[in-house]
Amino acid sequence: MLARRIIACLDVRDGRVVKGTKFLDLRDAGDPLACAQRYVDGGVDEIVVLDVSATLEERIASLRTIAAVAEAVDVPVTVGGGVRGVEDFARLLDAGADKVAVNSAAVADPELLSRAARRFGNQCVVLSIDARRVAGGYECYTHAGTRAAPRDAIAWAREAQQLGAGEILLTSIDRDGTRGGFDLELIAACARAVSAPLVASGGARDAGSFADALLAGADAALGASVFHDADCTIAEVKRCCAAANLAMRT
């Protein structure tokens, strides 16, 4: 089995790292470059940079921020925010991203995943799903969690993989920033539906919560505020996961 990954997420707005709860009430959490360097020095396996206002402002994620982070770190960097077409994939990859995450544009035009995969390879194409629990399952949301989409999150993950998505970044809006633990039911349902690598996001509480997400079926688990506020270190997370007999990257 492939080693599991621990990922740090930088939600960026106006050149600063921000973090809220359930996508609301954003607060400043530091400088993107300084945060990225700190987490890489601490042993994180990957960095995700999400420009949280890009789609609402109808622009692509900040290329300057992406280039600075990508140049400074030696781990893979996934970038999302404001992606509308294949050319935006190209611009972000040229700026230094290793993978590009897309949500709203893929919901509106699912074939975008296929076009991007044909041009850049599946490994570069990440479908970002922001899911909220509803009666009978989970519903997708777009535009930074402000618009409900008429799609079941699990069915959409399955379809997206068939279209060419090489990875699924699955965020529970209900758990985001709450430190209430990952939504293990959501993770397990998606893991059963897809074979592509699954990144669990939303709700990281402590080192043990990362192990819970991985044991539920995720290939990687992502943290933001739990790292920004030093509730636990990446080394602690990896030790806890290893103690749960999970193969971890060193």
* Catalytic positions: 11, 130
Q: How many CA atoms lie within 13 A of 150 on its CB side?
A: 1
Give the other-Cβ count within 10 Å of 99's Cβ: 23
Which amino acid is present at 31?
A: D
Helix (H, G, I), strand (E, B) or coil at 222: strand
The β-bridge partners of 152 are: 139
Q: Are 113 and 160 in contact (CB under 8 A)?
A: yes
Tell me, rounded to whole angstroms, the distance of Cα 88 from its chain centroid.
18
Q: Are 205 and 185 in contact (CB under 8 A)?
A: no
Q: Are 113 and 122 in contact (CB under 8 A)?
A: no
C-alpha torsion angle, residues 147, 221, 77, 172 (rounded to 10): 0
Rg over CA atoms, the chain: 16
Cα gap 127→9, rounded to integer Å: 15
Q: How many CA atoms lie within 13 A of 247 on its CB side?
A: 4
Q: How far from 215 is each of 146, 183, 199, 219, 248, CA to CA, in Å?
A: 30, 12, 12, 9, 12
